Amino acid sequence: MLGMIKNSLFGSVETWPWQVLSKGDKEEVSYEERACEGGKFATVEVTDKPVDEALREAMPKVAKYAGGTNDKGIGMGMTVPISFAVFPNEDGSLQKKLKVWFRIPNQFQSDPPAPSDKSVKIEEREGITVYSMQFGGYAKEADYVAQATRLRAALEGTATYRGDIYFCTGYDPPMKPYGRRNEIWLLKT
pLDDT in tens, 139-166: 999 999 999 999 999 999 999 999 999 9
Q: What pLDDT does 62 receive?
A: 95
Share of the chain above pLDDT 90, in %: 87
Band the pLDDT of 175: cuts 50, 70, 90. confident
Say if residue 102's pLDDT is above 80.
yes
**Structural domain boundaries, residue 177:** 15-188
CA distance 152 to 164: 13
The mean of the pLDDT values for the chain is 92
What pLDDT does residue 98 have? 96
Residue 65 resides in a domain: yes
* The pLDDT value given to residue 4: 44
Res 12: pLDDT:
65
For the chain, the residue count is 189
- The b-or-e profile of 126-152 (16+ CB within 10 A means b, else e) is eebbbbbbebeeebebebbbebbebbb
- Among residues 106, 96, 86, the alpha carbon closest in space to that of 165 is found at 86
Amino acid at 2: L
Domain with 127 in it: what CATH number? 3.20.80.10
What's the structural domain count of the chain? Answer: 1
State pTM to two decimals.
0.90
Q: Is residue 85 domain-resident?
A: yes
- Please give the angle made by the CA atoms of 51, 116 and 41, to the nearest 5 degrees: 55
The verdict on residue 1 lying in a domain is: no
Considering only CA atoms, which of 92, 103, 97 is closest in space to residue 55?
97
